[in-house]
Amino acid sequence: MGMGGGGTGGAVSEINVTPLIDVLLVLLIIFMVIVPVTPHGLDALVPQPPKNKQQDDNNTRTIVVQVQSNGAGEPAYKINETAFNKSAIESQLATIFAARQEKVMFVKGDKDLDFSKIAEVIDFGHQAGVDNIGLITPRVEAGQ
């Protein structure tokens, strides 16, 4: 069964690029669909330093929970400079945020502590119904 065409009947040494282009176009479409769906990062609420230095520092609306290292053992916990036991923090936060419309809390941790201690305080805030929790870092305190 000879087909005309003047060929020698041997193997063709040219590569067929049509299926490769089809695969390339399919991959291009897949990547164009997937890329906009990926998350770009976490939304962080960072407290800003006051623009007016004469502003009163004792703002009763701001709730700051401090986790301070005391050398060894369990860290010390404070809510707006009032010391609390670890077991009483969640109930105190629930009491504070029960009547508030704006549920924002900041957590300030000591640099020597393990982050798991600070994460526990963040969990206490979530269980108390706090919507936005921000972290106070040394750079934020310095106003940078």
Q: What is the rounded distance in angstroms from the CA atom of residue 17 to the CA atom of residue 15?
A: 6
- Write down the domain spans for the chain: 63-142
**Which helix or strand (DSSP H or E) is residue 95 part of?**
helix 86-98
Query: What's the pLDDT at 58?
Result: 47
Partner residues linked to 104 by β-bridges? 132
Query: What's the pLDDT at 99?
Result: 82
**From 3.30.360.10, 3.40.50.1000, 3.30.420.270, 3.90.226.10, which CATH number describes the 63-142 domain?**
3.30.420.270
Query: What's the pLDDT at 96?
Result: 86
Query: What's the pLDDT at 13?
Result: 81
The DSSP secondary structure of 22-77, one letter per residue, reads HHHHHHHHHHHHHGGGS--------PPPPSSTTS-S--TT-EEEEEE--SSSSPEE
pLDDT beneath 50: ranges in the chain:
56-58
List pLDDT tens digits, range 41-80.
666 666 666 666 555 444 567 888 888 887 777 888 888 8
Q: What is the rounded distance in angstroms from the CA atom of residue 142 to the CA atom of residue 66?
A: 17
The pTM assigned to this predicted structure is 0.57
